[in-house]
Amino acid sequence: MRMLGKGPSRLTPQLCRQCQDFANEYLGGTEIELTMLFADVRGSTPLAEKMGPSNYSQLISRFFAIASEVLIRHQAMVDKLVGDQATGLFVPGFAGSHHRRQAVDAAQELLRATGHAEPGGPWIPLGIGIHTGVAFVGSVGSQGTATDITVLGDPANIAARLSSTAASGEILISREAVAPGLDIDHLETRELELKGKSQPVGVYVLKQYS
């Protein structure tokens, strides 16, 4: 089927390439509740300056490869691997009804895989934001030449802001994204003033050693 161009898509093995190609050609989507995970490299600018272009590109490529593996293993759609950020969409149709928990588990695994639990520190420093809300998921672009399948809306903006606010080794989980069974009694809480938001956003702080 791969030879016929009908293998799994790059977004997730649960979506076929033919479906992705159709969505890339025709605009459309739907509003759906989902959980979004944004992982940002902390201090990427000084890191790139210190390492040089070639070494930095190898580091980012390694990060993207591991992030993709972790997100797909937890049933997420890999939305974007761009710049110094990886984004996963935990859509109920793929990730199931426990999409919040899937996102939290993926975030913790991603921190472990990048060395945040190691005595010498991570080989790449990450901050992660997780938020759940109703957003548009679908293809965007101009009619007949859709360019991407992505998520749009305020929930996506919140998840992105949380990831850019998180310190290295931190997972900021919005109250809306708290998963059943997650022990939050001993977690630090914060009220964050996020850019573009008129009201503070409450989060729980989960660290690799929490």
Please tell me the pTM assigned to this model: 0.87
Residues 6+ apart with CB under 8 A from 90: 34, 35, 36, 37, 74, 75, 76, 77, 99, 100, 102, 103, 106
pLDDT for residue 210: 46
pLDDT at position 162, please? 96
Write down the mean pLDDT value for the chain: 86
Q: Which domains does the chain possess?
A: 17-207 (3.30.70.1230)
pLDDT higher than threshold 80 for residue 96:
yes
Q: What does each C-alpha distance from 54 to 46, 63, 64, 164, 203 come to in angstroms?
A: 15, 14, 15, 25, 37
Q: Are 129 and 71 in contact (CB under 8 A)?
A: no
Average pLDDT (79-96) is 86
pLDDT-based confidence at residue 78 (cuts at 50, 70, 90): confident
The phi and psi torsions of 97 (rounded to 5 degrees) equal -70, -20
Q: Which of 22-26, 138-142, 143-147 has the lowest mean pLDDT?
A: 143-147
What is the C-alpha to C-alpha distance for residues 18 and 208, in angstroms, rounded to an integer? 39
> Residue 71: pLDDT band by 50, 70, 90 thresholds?
very high
pLDDT for residue 84 is more than 60: yes
Q: How far apart are the two ends of the chain, measured CA to CA in Å? A: 44
**Cα 206 to Cα 141: distance, rounded to the nearest angstrom:** 36
Torsion 155-156-157-161 (CA) sign: positive
pLDDT over 70, % of the chain: 82
pLDDT 10s digits, 121-144: 999 999 999 999 999 987 776 665
Mean local confidence (pLDDT), 75-101: 88
DSSP string over the chain = -TTTT-SB-SS-TTSBHHHHHHHHHS-EEEEEEEEEEEEEETTHHHHHHHH-HHHHHHHHHHHHHHHHHHHHHTT-EEEEEETTEEEEEE-HHHH-TTHHHHHHHHHHHHHHHTTTTSTT--SS-EEEEEEEEEEEEEEEEETTEEEEEEEESHHHHHHHHHHHHSPTTEEEEEGGGPPTT---TTSEEEEE--TT-SS-EEEEEEETT-
pLDDT digits (tens, 9 = 90+) for 169-207: 999 999 999 988 888 888 999 999 888 888 999 999 998
The predicted-structure confidence for 28-46, as pLDDT tens digits, reads as follows 788 999 999 999 999 888 8
